[in-house]
Structure 1
Amino acid sequence: MATRRIGIIMNGVTGRMGMNQHLIRSIIAIREQGGVKLPDGDVLMPDPILVGRNAQKIEALARAHGITRWSTDLESCLRNQEDEIYFDAQTTKQRYESVSAAIRAGKHIYCEKPTATDTQEALALAVQARQAGIKHGVVQDKLFLPGLLKLKRVIDSGFFGRILSVRGEFGYWVFEGDWQPGQRPSWNYRQEDGGGIIVDMVCHWRYVLANLFGEVQALSCLGATHIPERVDEQGQPYASTADDAAYATFELAGGIIAHFNSSWCVRVYRDELLSIQVDGTHGSAVAGLRECKVQSRVNTPKAVWNPDIPNPIDFYANWQDVPDNAIFENAFKVQWEMFLKHVACDTPFPWDLLAGARGVQVAELGLRSWQERRWVDVPDLAAELS
């Protein structure tokens, strides 16, 4: 058994998601477990170099986690032939130029979503990557959440019969920043900085729906800016120019109807921050981030509408937990390991930059639907990739 080094340029890991999920809980966790075991018995050990604009922040982050390599010069990092992978977790507006430069440098690409601010740029990245002959992947972390992995198991078992509809509720109250600091960065609420919940979350719902139920064929979306003013990290008030809530309905291949409410202006009265209900002819399921419950048709109570008497049915009583039956690791770490093996030994990894472009496309069409107040069809981007 040999240990094989793989160099990774990690750009944008001083931000919340890049630092916590990608650096600490993924790459550092992989290093601490002794690397990624490959099919031939060798072990792949990631060797990251952290890249950022703020030297003080990036050096402190590297030192805190025992990482010896860091830089503020992306161009010089891309020239280093010993680092094979470029990873991008910057804000969306910065992503296109950096990823394009990494493709030109011959790096394999792994990046956060949205992959760009519009469909044209996102598709251009997919075309550039294909022409360069590099491997490329996009973060699709929700697919590897324990609750959704259990839901996928239920789907594959045939439990639902014919699936009719999907209902998703996502969100929580993000404090405005005046009397309590906000839990999300202020750029999320400025359209000019690439913010907005439609751009952020509809990309997620597209890949969840496509991988579990069917490709999105059409959509109708209504956005809203419920909180018109917030306070930034320096304590300064600013106008919220981006949407902080979205109410979207999707028509999927096979006739399934899906609806997702996404909001940073909702107080949570459910088990988890994300809840997805699936209803089929033979049964239903409710999945969250970690749990999944099912109700078959033989366990379905016979509800009758009668508001004149107290409700006689405990609607929670006839649902059953889907057991773990597995050890679930961090969703970002699972996908990182898959991508590293994809680069090292060409194991499958279907979530490429074209999948990322499809997410951007659906989000962009959601914005158009809101602006034009109508249903919008979703063309297939694959034909434009050649």
Structure 2
Amino acid sequence: MTRRTVRIAMNGVTGRMGYRQHLVRSLLALREEGGLDLGDGDTLWPEPVLVGRRPAALRAIAERHGLTHWTTDLDGLLAARGDDAVEIYFDAQTTTARAAAVRRAIAAGKHVYTEKPTAGDLADALDLARRADAAGIRHGVVQDKLFLPGLRKLKRLLDGDFFGRILSVRGEFGYWVFEGDWQRAQRPSWNYRAADGGGITVDMFPHWDYLLRELFGGVTSVYAQTASHVPRRWDERGEPYDATADDAVYAVFQLPGGAVAQINSSWTVRVMRDELVEFQVDGVQGSAVAGLRRCRAQHRAVTPRPVWNPDLCATEPFREQWQEVPDNDDDIDANGFKAQWELFLRHVALGEPYRWDLLAGARGVQLAELGLRSAREGRRVEVPELTL
């Protein structure tokens, strides 16, 4: 039995996503389990090296979790050799800082795993993918929603041809983010400043790109309407600022084979759904509604025959007429971020296949860019297949 240590530079762990999902719920959770089992008695032990700009915050996180390695010197860390060398660079910074840091990690020969969007524009995103391929490193992009229990159940229905010919997909994502004056905002203020890489289109379209690609074959065109519904917000210091980025986007995506997806994404909507994100898929043979955890289905053979009558109150218990899709998989409740970390670490350690690379990340940036272009020009925009 052998235990191999892999040192991982984690840049951006002082932020909510980098800290909670990637450090605590993924790598530290792996350590609590004794490391990642590689088979044949071998174990991979992740050793995080915290990176950031605020030494006090890094020190506090390290002390809280019994970690000994942190630094504010990214270049020095990337240049380190011997026992101090890192093998993997991970990035969960703000979007505007990401591409430059990832480019430096690639130049240093480090494997790269990064949050999305991978860059602020398509040219930069493609440049990262090309550099990574040329350097011969292994690279991956977080595509966490593929691992959600509800969407895994939806994928099972798709694989079993439950729907027959798919007609449409309808998605609702979002919640009310407080302005920050009389109640604290749930999201950082940079999300609402265009100059800082904010905006819900840039944030969410990369998610919709990989979900629609993995589940339905991709997107061939997009029509989008963006909005900045709340023009004034208050930052972390209680200071007012102009919200220059979009806080809602309403989009229609054409899918291969003629199906249409409509997805509303909003930080200015109050939730009247069972979950913060839900997708309804309608097909000739059946329909399903999937969220973060649940998935319910209705086959054509048991579909009721409602009749529209505005003069009478509806008496049908519509929600009760759907069947819960069972969990079935033993690991259905596994944390999606941790599950993808495990796949990427096995990709690095064993060379196992891994398809969610920097080119996949560039596709997400492309869809966001084309969505914003569609909103500016007020027209549908074709989405070309992206290659290196």
Match of 1:213 among 206, 211, 216: 216
Rounded to whole Å, the distance in 1 between the matches of 2:385 and 2:242 is 36
- 2:23 aligned partner: 23
Q: TM-score, normalised by structure 2?
A: 0.98
Match of 1:268 among 245, 266, 271: 271
Residue 329, structure 1, aligned to residue 331, structure 2: no
Amino acid aligned to 2:101: S
Residue 367, structure 1, aligned to residue 372, structure 2: yes
Residue 177, structure 1, aligned to residue 180, structure 2: yes
Rounded to whole Å, the distance in 1 between the matches of 2:48 and 2:77 is 11
TM superposition shift of 1:41: 3.4
Match of 1:288 among 288, 291, 298: 291
Contact 1:249 1:260 (C-alpha < 8 Å) held by counterparts: yes
Contact 1:214 1:254 (C-alpha < 8 Å) held by counterparts: no
Which 10-residue stretch deviates more, 213-222 or 310-319? Answer: 310-319
Rounded to whole Å, the distance in 1 between the matches of 2:14 and 2:256 is 39
TM superposition shift of 1:80: 2.4
Match of 2:304 among 273, 292, 301: 301
- 2:87 aligned partner: 84
Superposed CA deviations along residues 73-128 of structure 1, whole A, max 9, x for unmatched, are 00011012431100000000000110000000000000000000000000000000
Rounded to whole Å, the distance in 2 between the matches of 1:163 and 1:37 is 39
- 1:8 aligned partner: 8
- 2:115 aligned partner: 112
Aligned residue pairs, count: 383
Rounded to whole Å, the distance in 2 between the matches of 1:259 and 1:335 is 27
Amino acid aligned to 2:364: G
- 2:139 aligned partner: 136
TM superposition shift of 1:303: 1.3
Rounded to whole Å, the distance in 2 between the matches of 1:123 and 1:88 is 17
Residue 378, structure 1, aligned to residue 383, structure 2: yes
Residue 147, structure 1, aligned to residue 153, structure 2: no
- Corresponding residue SS for 1:336: helix
- 2:52 aligned partner: 52
Which 10-residue stretch deviates more, 46-55 or 74-83? Answer: 74-83
TM superposition shift of 1:39: 3.6
- Corresponding residue SS for 2:309: coil
- 1:278 aligned partner: 281
Superposed CA deviations along residues 350-375 of structure 1, whole A, max 9, x for unmatched, are 00000000000000000000000000
Amino acid aligned to 2:347: H
- 2:125 aligned partner: 122
Amino acid aligned to 1:29: A
- 2:258 aligned partner: 255
Give me the identity figure in percent. Answer: 62
Rounded to whole Å, the distance in 2 between the matches of 1:192 and 1:106 is 30
TM superposition shift of 1:218: 0.5
- Corresponding residue SS for 1:316: helix
Contact 1:99 1:109 (C-alpha < 8 Å) held by counterparts: yes
Amino acid aligned to 1:168: G
- 2:69 aligned partner: 69
Superposed CA deviations along residues 298-317 of structure 1, whole A, max 9, x for unmatched, are 11110111111111311112
Deviation beyond 6 Å, 4+ runs, structure 1: none
Contact 1:142 1:148 (C-alpha < 8 Å) held by counterparts: yes
Gapped runs of 5+ residues in structure 2?
none
- 1:201 aligned partner: 204
Rounded to whole Å, the distance in 1 between the matches of 2:110 and 2:71 is 17
TM superposition shift of 1:380: 1.5
Rounded to whole Å, the distance in 1 between the matches of 2:320 and 2:171 is 22
Rounded to whole Å, the distance in 2 between the matches of 1:25 and 1:300 is 41
Rounded to whole Å, the distance in 2 between the matches of 1:40 and 1:149 is 29
User: What's the C-alpha RMSD, in Å, of the aligned pairs?
Assistant: 0.8
Residue 356, structure 1, aligned to residue 361, structure 2: yes
Rounded to whole Å, the distance in 1 between the matches of 2:97 and 2:344 is 23
Amino acid aligned to 1:244: D
- Corresponding residue SS for 1:259: strand
Rounded to whole Å, the distance in 1 between the matches of 2:326 and 2:61 is 38
Residue 310, structure 1, aligned to residue 329, structure 2: no
TM superposition shift of 1:40: 3.6
- Corresponding residue SS for 1:317: helix
